[in-house]
Amino acid sequence: MQIFMWWLDLDLKSKEWLRENLRAGDVPLFVMQGIAEAGGPHPDTPQAVLTEAEWDFIETQSEFVD
């Protein structure tokens, strides 16, 4: 599922972590669980790390006023 389809449902704590740690190689489990609960990739799937396109979205399209 594309990031714009699950980003709005992602909890604020996870969004803040992603924005503050842009393009981090290791994403904490609580963030990955939040992403999975919002409809994004599950921590056990091959795409457990966010793609470049998803990081680009977080950097340029996500709003800080959630």
Two tokens, residue 18 = 């992603």
Q: Which residues of 40-51 are buried (b: 16+ CB within 10 A; e: fewer)?
A: bbeeeeeeeebe
User: Is residue 18 classed exposed, middle or buried when 0-12, 13-18 and 19+ CB atoms within 10 A define those classes?
Assistant: buried
pLDDT for position 1: 78
CA 17 to chain centre: 9
State pLDDT tens for residues 8-62: 999 999 999 999 999 998 889 999 999 999 998 876 655 556 889 999 999 987 6
With a CB cutoff of 8 Å and minimum separation 6, the contacts of 31 are 14, 17, 18
pTM: 0.82
pLDDT for position 50: 87
pLDDT for position 25: 84
How would residue 63 be classed by pLDDT, with cut points 50, 70 and 90? low
